[in-house]
Amino acid sequence: MNTPNTDDAYVYEPFAQTVEYLKINEAIVRRWVEAMLEGGSKHIERIVDLATGVGTMARLLIENLPPNIKPADVVCVDMSGRALEQAGENLKAQVNHLTLVKTPLQELSLEPQSVDVAIWGNGVHYLSSEDQMKTFSNIRRALKPGGWFCFNSAFYEEARPPKTLSFYRSQVATAVRNLRSRGFSRDKSEHSPESALYLPLSHYQDLLAQAGFQVEEIRNFVAKMYRSAWEKISAFSQYAAGALHGYPTDAAAEALEAAVAPSLEQYGERDENDEPFIPRNWFSAIARAK
Ligand SMILES: C[S@@+](CC[C@H](N)C(=O)[O-])C[C@H]1O[C@@H](n2cnc3c(N)ncnc32)[C@H](O)[C@@H]1O
Protein backbone atom coordinates (compact mmCIF):
# COMPACT_ATOMS: atom_id res chain seq x y z
CA MET A 1 0.00 0.00 0.00
CA ASN A 2 1.18 3.51 -0.72
CA THR A 3 0.42 6.04 1.98
CA PRO A 4 1.53 9.65 2.00
CA ASN A 5 3.81 10.72 4.80
CA THR A 6 2.74 13.16 7.47
CA ASP A 7 4.01 16.27 5.72
CA ASP A 8 2.30 15.60 2.40
CA ALA A 9 -0.89 17.40 3.38
CA TYR A 10 1.22 20.55 3.59
CA VAL A 11 2.86 20.18 0.20
CA TYR A 12 -0.63 19.55 -1.20
CA GLU A 13 -2.02 22.66 0.46
CA PRO A 14 -0.91 25.22 -2.19
CA PHE A 15 -2.86 23.23 -4.83
CA ALA A 16 -5.85 22.93 -2.50
CA GLN A 17 -5.90 26.73 -2.21
CA THR A 18 -6.14 27.34 -5.96
CA VAL A 19 -9.29 28.85 -7.45
CA GLU A 20 -9.70 25.82 -9.72
CA TYR A 21 -9.57 23.32 -6.83
CA LEU A 22 -11.99 25.23 -4.63
CA LYS A 23 -14.37 25.89 -7.51
CA ILE A 24 -14.65 22.29 -8.69
CA ASN A 25 -14.89 20.90 -5.17
CA GLU A 26 -17.55 23.41 -4.22
CA ALA A 27 -19.58 22.53 -7.34
CA ILE A 28 -19.34 18.85 -6.39
CA VAL A 29 -20.25 19.44 -2.73
CA ARG A 30 -23.25 21.51 -3.83
CA ARG A 31 -24.43 18.56 -5.89
CA TRP A 32 -24.05 16.33 -2.81
CA VAL A 33 -26.16 18.72 -0.76
CA GLU A 34 -28.78 18.94 -3.52
CA ALA A 35 -28.98 15.12 -3.66
CA MET A 36 -29.42 14.92 0.12
CA LEU A 37 -32.24 17.44 0.03
CA GLU A 38 -33.87 15.75 -2.98
CA GLY A 39 -33.52 12.46 -1.08
CA GLY A 40 -35.53 13.87 1.81
CA SER A 41 -32.79 14.46 4.41
CA LYS A 42 -34.13 16.80 7.06
CA HIS A 43 -31.79 16.20 9.96
CA ILE A 44 -28.04 15.82 9.80
CA GLU A 45 -26.67 15.30 13.27
CA ARG A 46 -23.27 13.92 12.56
CA ILE A 47 -20.93 14.09 9.58
CA VAL A 48 -17.57 12.41 9.11
CA ASP A 49 -14.93 13.90 6.82
CA LEU A 50 -12.56 11.13 5.80
CA ALA A 51 -8.97 12.04 4.85
CA THR A 52 -9.92 15.53 5.88
CA GLY A 53 -6.55 17.17 5.10
CA VAL A 54 -7.02 20.68 6.45
CA GLY A 55 -10.81 20.29 6.54
CA THR A 56 -11.64 21.80 3.13
CA MET A 57 -14.48 19.41 2.24
CA ALA A 58 -16.08 19.57 5.70
CA ARG A 59 -15.98 23.37 5.49
CA LEU A 60 -17.55 23.39 2.00
CA LEU A 61 -20.26 20.97 3.10
CA ILE A 62 -21.15 22.96 6.21
CA GLU A 63 -21.20 26.22 4.26
CA ASN A 64 -23.51 24.78 1.60
CA LEU A 65 -26.03 23.03 3.86
CA PRO A 66 -29.21 25.02 4.53
CA PRO A 67 -29.05 26.67 7.99
CA ASN A 68 -31.81 24.45 9.41
CA ILE A 69 -29.84 21.23 8.86
CA LYS A 70 -26.32 22.19 9.91
CA PRO A 71 -24.68 19.25 11.71
CA ALA A 72 -24.03 19.62 15.43
CA ASP A 73 -21.30 17.07 15.40
CA VAL A 74 -18.35 16.78 12.96
CA VAL A 75 -15.68 14.08 12.98
CA CYS A 76 -12.52 14.63 10.93
CA VAL A 77 -10.28 11.66 10.23
CA ASP A 78 -6.76 11.70 8.81
CA MET A 79 -3.53 9.80 9.35
CA SER A 80 -1.61 13.08 9.51
CA GLY A 81 -1.58 14.76 12.91
CA ARG A 82 -0.40 18.05 11.42
CA ALA A 83 -3.26 18.08 8.91
CA LEU A 84 -5.75 17.41 11.72
CA GLU A 85 -4.35 20.25 13.80
CA GLN A 86 -4.89 22.60 10.87
CA ALA A 87 -8.38 21.18 10.22
CA GLY A 88 -9.23 21.86 13.88
CA GLU A 89 -8.12 25.49 13.51
CA ASN A 90 -10.03 25.94 10.25
CA LEU A 91 -13.29 24.42 11.49
CA LYS A 92 -13.56 25.42 15.12
CA ALA A 93 -15.56 28.59 14.45
CA GLN A 94 -18.17 26.71 12.37
CA VAL A 95 -18.65 23.52 14.37
CA ASN A 96 -20.17 23.06 17.83
CA HIS A 97 -18.68 19.68 18.52
CA LEU A 98 -15.57 18.73 16.58
CA THR A 99 -13.69 15.44 17.02
CA LEU A 100 -10.32 14.83 15.37
CA VAL A 101 -9.34 11.20 14.82
CA LYS A 102 -5.80 10.28 13.79
CA THR A 103 -5.82 6.87 12.11
CA PRO A 104 -5.40 5.22 8.72
CA LEU A 105 -8.91 5.03 7.27
CA GLN A 106 -8.69 1.29 6.73
CA GLU A 107 -8.40 0.91 10.51
CA LEU A 108 -11.13 3.38 11.38
CA SER A 109 -13.72 2.12 13.81
CA LEU A 110 -16.78 4.29 14.46
CA GLU A 111 -19.87 3.46 16.46
CA PRO A 112 -22.29 1.48 14.24
CA GLN A 113 -25.19 3.46 12.76
CA SER A 114 -24.03 6.73 14.32
CA VAL A 115 -23.31 8.81 11.20
CA ASP A 116 -25.69 10.64 8.83
CA VAL A 117 -23.19 11.72 6.17
CA ALA A 118 -19.67 10.53 5.35
CA ILE A 119 -17.59 12.43 2.80
CA TRP A 120 -14.20 11.52 1.38
CA GLY A 121 -12.70 14.27 -0.78
CA ASN A 122 -9.79 13.76 -3.14
CA GLY A 123 -8.27 10.84 -1.31
CA VAL A 124 -9.82 7.50 -2.33
CA HIS A 125 -7.11 6.91 -4.98
CA TYR A 126 -4.35 6.75 -2.35
CA LEU A 127 -5.56 3.42 -1.01
CA SER A 128 -5.09 -0.02 -2.52
CA SER A 129 -8.32 -1.69 -3.67
CA GLU A 130 -8.16 -3.90 -0.59
CA ASP A 131 -7.91 -0.92 1.78
CA GLN A 132 -10.60 0.94 -0.16
CA MET A 133 -12.89 -2.05 0.42
CA LYS A 134 -12.07 -2.13 4.15
CA THR A 135 -12.78 1.60 4.38
CA PHE A 136 -16.05 1.39 2.43
CA SER A 137 -17.19 -1.42 4.77
CA ASN A 138 -16.21 0.61 7.86
CA ILE A 139 -18.19 3.56 6.55
CA ARG A 140 -21.17 1.38 5.67
CA ARG A 141 -21.27 0.03 9.25
CA ALA A 142 -20.94 3.52 10.76
CA LEU A 143 -23.75 5.04 8.66
CA LYS A 144 -27.37 5.05 9.76
CA PRO A 145 -29.67 3.21 7.30
CA GLY A 146 -30.17 5.60 4.38
CA GLY A 147 -27.07 7.58 5.45
CA TRP A 148 -25.08 9.26 2.70
CA PHE A 149 -21.59 8.43 1.46
CA CYS A 150 -20.15 10.94 -1.03
CA PHE A 151 -16.64 10.98 -2.45
CA ASN A 152 -14.71 12.40 -5.36
CA SER A 153 -11.35 12.25 -7.08
CA ALA A 154 -9.50 13.57 -10.13
CA PHE A 155 -7.32 10.44 -10.27
CA TYR A 156 -9.12 7.67 -12.16
CA GLU A 157 -9.09 6.13 -15.60
CA GLU A 158 -11.49 8.63 -17.19
CA ALA A 159 -9.91 11.73 -15.56
CA ARG A 160 -7.83 12.68 -18.58
CA PRO A 161 -9.84 13.26 -21.77
CA PRO A 162 -7.98 11.67 -24.73
CA LYS A 163 -7.49 15.09 -26.37
CA THR A 164 -5.41 16.17 -23.33
CA LEU A 165 -2.98 13.24 -23.31
CA SER A 166 -0.43 15.06 -25.48
CA PHE A 167 -0.08 17.65 -22.70
CA TYR A 168 0.79 14.99 -20.09
CA ARG A 169 3.19 13.20 -22.46
CA SER A 170 4.95 16.46 -23.29
CA GLN A 171 5.21 17.43 -19.61
CA VAL A 172 6.72 14.07 -18.64
CA ALA A 173 9.11 13.98 -21.66
CA THR A 174 10.30 17.54 -20.95
CA ALA A 175 10.79 16.73 -17.25
CA VAL A 176 12.73 13.54 -18.07
CA ARG A 177 15.08 15.50 -20.38
CA ASN A 178 15.61 18.01 -17.60
CA LEU A 179 16.35 15.26 -15.03
CA ARG A 180 18.77 13.46 -17.36
CA SER A 181 20.59 16.70 -18.15
CA ARG A 182 21.09 17.07 -14.38
CA GLY A 183 22.52 13.55 -14.09
CA PHE A 184 19.47 11.77 -12.62
CA SER A 185 18.53 8.35 -13.91
CA ARG A 186 15.48 6.22 -13.31
CA ASP A 187 15.50 3.37 -10.80
CA LYS A 188 13.62 0.77 -12.87
CA SER A 189 13.12 -1.54 -9.88
CA GLU A 190 10.73 0.93 -8.24
CA HIS A 191 7.07 0.12 -8.69
CA SER A 192 4.41 2.65 -9.47
CA PRO A 193 2.67 3.82 -6.28
CA GLU A 194 -1.07 3.36 -5.71
CA SER A 195 -1.71 7.06 -6.36
CA ALA A 196 -0.64 6.50 -9.97
CA LEU A 197 -3.17 3.70 -10.48
CA TYR A 198 -6.00 5.26 -12.41
CA LEU A 199 -8.88 2.91 -11.61
CA PRO A 200 -12.01 3.08 -13.78
CA LEU A 201 -15.31 4.42 -12.47
CA SER A 202 -16.74 0.90 -12.79
CA HIS A 203 -14.30 -0.16 -10.04
CA TYR A 204 -15.86 2.33 -7.60
CA GLN A 205 -19.35 1.35 -8.69
CA ASP A 206 -18.56 -2.33 -7.96
CA LEU A 207 -16.93 -1.55 -4.63
CA LEU A 208 -19.95 0.43 -3.48
CA ALA A 209 -22.30 -2.40 -4.42
CA GLN A 210 -20.12 -5.02 -2.69
CA ALA A 211 -19.96 -2.94 0.50
CA GLY A 212 -23.76 -2.70 0.65
CA PHE A 213 -24.43 0.75 -0.75
CA GLN A 214 -27.17 1.88 -3.07
CA VAL A 215 -25.46 3.96 -5.78
CA GLU A 216 -27.44 7.16 -6.35
CA GLU A 217 -25.21 8.90 -8.88
CA ILE A 218 -21.72 8.74 -10.33
CA ARG A 219 -20.82 11.49 -12.74
CA ASN A 220 -17.98 13.59 -14.11
CA PHE A 221 -17.43 17.28 -13.50
CA VAL A 222 -14.92 19.19 -15.62
CA ALA A 223 -12.33 21.62 -14.22
CA LYS A 224 -10.43 24.06 -16.43
CA MET A 225 -6.93 23.95 -14.99
CA TYR A 226 -4.54 26.82 -15.68
CA ARG A 227 -0.78 27.16 -15.36
CA SER A 228 -0.51 27.97 -11.66
CA ALA A 229 -2.75 25.05 -10.65
CA TRP A 230 -0.71 22.64 -12.82
CA GLU A 231 2.51 23.94 -11.30
CA LYS A 232 1.18 23.47 -7.78
CA ILE A 233 -0.15 19.93 -8.31
CA SER A 234 3.08 19.00 -10.11
CA ALA A 235 5.10 20.21 -7.11
CA PHE A 236 3.06 17.88 -4.83
CA SER A 237 5.33 14.93 -4.06
CA GLN A 238 2.59 12.27 -4.39
CA TYR A 239 1.75 13.52 -7.86
CA ALA A 240 5.39 13.57 -8.92
CA ALA A 241 5.95 10.08 -7.48
CA GLY A 242 3.08 8.83 -9.63
CA ALA A 243 3.90 10.69 -12.84
CA LEU A 244 7.66 10.06 -12.72
CA HIS A 245 8.22 7.08 -10.45
CA GLY A 246 11.78 5.82 -10.15
CA TYR A 247 13.35 9.30 -9.99
CA PRO A 248 14.13 11.10 -6.74
CA THR A 249 10.78 12.62 -5.84
CA ASP A 250 11.93 16.17 -5.05
CA ALA A 251 13.89 16.47 -8.30
CA ALA A 252 10.98 14.94 -10.27
CA ALA A 253 8.54 17.43 -8.72
CA GLU A 254 10.80 20.35 -9.64
CA ALA A 255 11.25 19.09 -13.21
CA LEU A 256 7.50 18.50 -13.68
CA GLU A 257 6.72 21.97 -12.37
CA ALA A 258 9.21 23.55 -14.79
CA ALA A 259 7.73 21.54 -17.67
CA VAL A 260 4.19 22.89 -17.19
CA ALA A 261 4.59 26.23 -18.98
CA PRO A 262 6.09 24.98 -22.28
CA SER A 263 3.72 21.98 -22.47
CA LEU A 264 0.68 24.10 -21.73
CA GLU A 265 1.75 26.68 -24.29
CA GLN A 266 2.00 23.96 -26.93
CA TYR A 267 -0.97 21.72 -26.08
CA GLY A 268 -3.38 23.80 -23.98
CA GLU A 269 -6.85 24.85 -25.12
CA ARG A 270 -7.41 28.62 -25.11
CA ASP A 271 -10.09 30.47 -23.19
CA GLU A 272 -11.74 33.73 -24.26
CA ASN A 273 -8.72 35.68 -22.92
CA ASP A 274 -6.33 33.45 -24.86
CA GLU A 275 -5.10 31.85 -21.60
CA PRO A 276 -4.10 28.20 -22.06
CA PHE A 277 -5.76 25.54 -19.89
CA ILE A 278 -6.22 21.78 -19.80
CA PRO A 279 -9.62 20.35 -18.85
CA ARG A 280 -9.50 17.66 -16.16
CA ASN A 281 -12.38 15.41 -15.17
CA TRP A 282 -13.33 14.97 -11.53
CA PHE A 283 -15.77 12.22 -10.59
CA SER A 284 -18.39 12.62 -7.93
CA ALA A 285 -20.01 9.55 -6.36
CA ILE A 286 -23.13 9.66 -4.23
CA ALA A 287 -24.36 6.53 -2.43
CA ARG A 288 -26.63 5.58 0.45
CA ALA A 289 -26.32 2.87 3.07
CA LYS A 290 -28.95 0.19 2.39
C1 LIG B 1 -5.19 15.15 -1.12
S2 LIG B 1 -5.56 15.35 0.55
C3 LIG B 1 -7.30 15.69 0.50
C4 LIG B 1 -7.73 16.55 1.62
C5 LIG B 1 -9.21 16.98 1.63
N6 LIG B 1 -10.10 15.84 1.83
C7 LIG B 1 -9.56 17.68 0.33
O8 LIG B 1 -10.38 17.13 -0.43
O9 LIG B 1 -9.05 18.76 0.05
C10 LIG B 1 -5.49 13.69 1.06
C11 LIG B 1 -5.46 13.47 2.58
O12 LIG B 1 -5.60 12.07 2.77
C13 LIG B 1 -4.82 11.67 3.87
N14 LIG B 1 -4.63 10.23 3.73
C15 LIG B 1 -4.09 9.57 2.68
N16 LIG B 1 -4.13 8.24 2.88
C17 LIG B 1 -4.76 8.06 4.06
C18 LIG B 1 -5.12 6.91 4.81
N19 LIG B 1 -4.85 5.68 4.37
N20 LIG B 1 -5.76 7.09 5.98
C21 LIG B 1 -6.03 8.34 6.46
N22 LIG B 1 -5.70 9.46 5.80
C23 LIG B 1 -5.08 9.33 4.61
C24 LIG B 1 -3.57 12.52 3.75
O25 LIG B 1 -2.90 12.62 4.99
C26 LIG B 1 -4.15 13.86 3.26
O27 LIG B 1 -4.43 14.72 4.35
For residues 95 and 74, give the distance between their C-alpha atoms in angstroms, rounded to a whole number: 7
For position 172, what pLDDT does the model report?
96
For position 40, what pLDDT does the model report?
94
- Comparing 105 with 238, the larger pLDDT belongs to 105
Atom of ligand 1 nearest to the CA of 119: 6
Asked whether residue 30 carries a pLDDT value surpassing 70, the answer given is yes
For position 72, what pLDDT does the model report?
83
For residues 258 and 236, give the distance between their C-alpha atoms in angstroms, rounded to a whole number: 13
Average pLDDT over residues 223-242: 92
Contact partners, residue 111, CB within 8 Å, separation at least 6: 142
Atom of ligand 1 nearest to the CA of 122: 8
Q: Whose CA is nearest to atom 13 of ligand 1?
A: 51
Give pLDDT tens digits for 36-94.
Answer: 999 999 989 999 999 999 999 999 999 999 988 988 899 999 999 999 999 999 999 99
Average pLDDT over residues 21-36: 98
Asked whether residue 169 carries a pLDDT value surpassing 60, the answer given is yes
Give pLDDT tens digits for 266-278.
Answer: 999 999 999 999 9
Residue 207 Cα to ligand 1 midpoint, Å, equals 19
- Compute CA distances 226 → 254, 259, 282, whole Å: 18, 14, 15
Rg (CA), the chain: 19
Residue 149 Cα to ligand 1 midpoint, Å, equals 16
Tell me the pLDDT of the chain averaged across its residues.
93
- pLDDT range class, residue 11, cuts 50, 70, 90: low
Average pLDDT over residues 154-172: 97
Asked whether residue 2 carries a pLDDT value surpassing 90, the answer given is no
Give the sign of the dihedral formed by CA 225, CA 228, CA 229, CA 231: positive
Asked whether residue 261 carries a pLDDT value surpassing 80, the answer given is yes
Residue 118: strand pairing partners: 48, 149
| Candidates 3.40.50.150, 3.40.50.10470, 2.40.70.10, 3.30.460.20; CATH matching 8-289 | 3.40.50.150
For residues 213 and 207, give the distance between their C-alpha atoms in angstroms, rounded to a whole number: 9
What pTM, to 2 d.p., does this model score? 0.94
Pocket test for ligand 1, best of 8, 56, 57 (most atoms within 8 A of CB): 8
Pocket test for ligand 1, best of 75, 80, 153, 236 (most atoms within 8 A of CB): 80
- pLDDT range class, residue 194, cuts 50, 70, 90: low
Atom of ligand 1 nearest to the CA of 131: 19
Atom of ligand 1 nearest to the CA of 126: 16
Average pLDDT over residues 235-250: 89
Asked whether residue 160 carries a pLDDT value surpassing 60, the answer given is yes
- Compute CA distances 225 → 8, 72, 217, 243, 282, whole Å: 21, 35, 24, 17, 12
For position 3, what pLDDT does the model report?
45
Pocket test for ligand 1, best of 26, 50, 78 (most atoms within 8 A of CB): 78
Asked whether residue 12 carries a pLDDT value surpassing 80, the answer given is no
Q: Whose CA is nearest to atom 10 of ligand 1?
A: 123
Asked whether residue 237 carries a pLDDT value surpassing 90, the answer given is no
